[in-house]
Structure 1
Amino acid sequence: MLNLFKTYKLVIRFILTFLVSYFVMSLGYKLYLDYSKTTTFQPDYITYYVAKQSQEFLSVIGYNAKIELHEGEAWVRLFFNGDYIVRIIEGCNAISVIILFVAFIVSFASTLKNTLLFIAAGSVIIYIANVLRIGLLTIGLYYYPNLEHILHGVVFPLIIYGMVFMLWVIWMNYFVKRKKNHAPAKAL
């Protein structure tokens, strides 16, 4: 049994590091959400600003967009060209995706500097891509409401999770140092 642990030490360390970091960040996020229920921002501060920035993105590219909060609703309504098109809920703010991304990076940590810089850069990239995703999804749903299932359920999750996967690949290929076998080659 001890030999088995020695053989798979790196795999076990990855799994434990991933689970602990994911659990700690998820617990912190849950505490934040619980605290947010007592503040003036509903559903929560981050979700509100994701909605606001999505509305600003749509306005910058020339569309008439505005957001509204309604008492008792746990989401932000996003209006597009005067029509109520989407509601932005807590699950739309990409924090859960960022937590998953960070837990993976921490599990394969490199130097402290590289790890922290990559986490910061990757989190910003995911956040911005999510704001753009919501804006583009709003446009898509306005013009093609019959494609809601495909746009919301397939295309845009594929984009956001595909991007996270690509960030992980970049991290593993360019920043994580692998142990190399330096044993001399045997002569034939």
Structure 2
Amino acid sequence: MKDFLPVLKILLRFVVIYIVLVLLYQFYLNTYENEVVDPFTRWVAKQVAFLQNVLGFPTVLVDSLKLHSVLFQTSGKFTTRMVEGCNVFSVAILFTAFVFAFYKGAKTFLFALGGIILLHILNISRIVLLNIIFLKYPQYEKIGHDYLFPAIIYGGVIILWLVWIQVFALKKTDKS
């Protein structure tokens, strides 16, 4: 049993951190349950709209309380809708819990923050590209939404985890 103790500590740390972060996030979401979306989700939608406008795809955000969504009206056509699940927060919680399960001091905080920022940028880009696909290539909507774009986010998480483990968490330090 003693051989498994380090693994059990890592697993327990992951589970505790994950549960605490999920409960905090749920508390945050419950505060905005009567709103169209929470402020973070709206902030992400505004960034998507801004980037689409910069890229030449005029975009207007339309609130839908009925759907608890912010709809993207891109070039005059409703393309996709932004719901809480699209804001990458839940994925960032999973990512953060894993990184902190292999805690390595101050660099843990820096890596987690950098990873969350990178995941946020990937997410904004993913939603922009998804809206463009819905607008220009509607025959690829399902593949884009259900397979390709989740792979971008989760692939990003896995790559970041591998970097964390290989470069930081398991790296041996010389004690000369």
Task: Give me the TM-score of the superposition, normalised by structure 2.
Answer: 0.93
Aligned equivalent of 1:81: 75
Alignment of 1:23-172 (within 5 A): 23-38=19-34, 41-111=35-105, 113-172=106-165
Residue identity opposite 2:56 in structure 1: G
Aligned equivalent of 2:4: 8
Equivalent pair of 1:55/1:65 in contact (CA under 8 Å)? yes
1:21 aligns to 2:17 (yes or no): yes
Equivalent pair of 1:129/1:160 in contact (CA under 8 Å)? yes
Q: 1:179 to 1:71 in 2, by over 3 A?
A: closer
Residue identity opposite 1:148 in structure 2: E
Deviation at 1:71, TM superposition (A): 3.7
Stretches of structure 2 that go unaligned for 5 or more consecutive residues are none
Give, in whole Å, the separation in 2 of the partners of 1:82 and 1:178. Answer: 52
Deviation at 1:73, TM superposition (A): 3.3
Deviation at 1:70, TM superposition (A): 3.0
Equivalent pair of 1:67/1:77 in contact (CA under 8 Å)? yes
Task: Give me the TM-score of the superposition, normalised by structure 1.
Answer: 0.88
Q: Where has structure 1 moved over 2 Å in runs of 4 or more?
A: 70-73, 177-180
Question: Secondary structure in 1 aligned to 2:169?
Answer: coil
For residues 56-106 of structure 1, give each alpha carbon's deviation from its aligned partner in whole angstroms, at most 9, with x where no partner exists. 010111111111113443110001110001011110000000000000000
Stretches of structure 1 that go unaligned for 5 or more consecutive residues are 183-188
Deviation at 1:179, TM superposition (A): 5.8
Give, in whole Å, the separation in 2 of the partners of 1:168 and 1:178. Answer: 14
Rg (Cα) greater in structure: 1
Give, in whole Å, the separation in 2 of the partners of 1:166 and 1:17. Answer: 21
Deviation at 1:178, TM superposition (A): 4.8
Cα RMSD (Å): 1.6
Q: What's the % identity of the aligned pairs? A: 36
Question: Secondary structure in 2 aligned to 1:8?
Answer: helix
Give, in whole Å, the separation in 1 of the partners of 2:130 and 2:53. Answer: 14
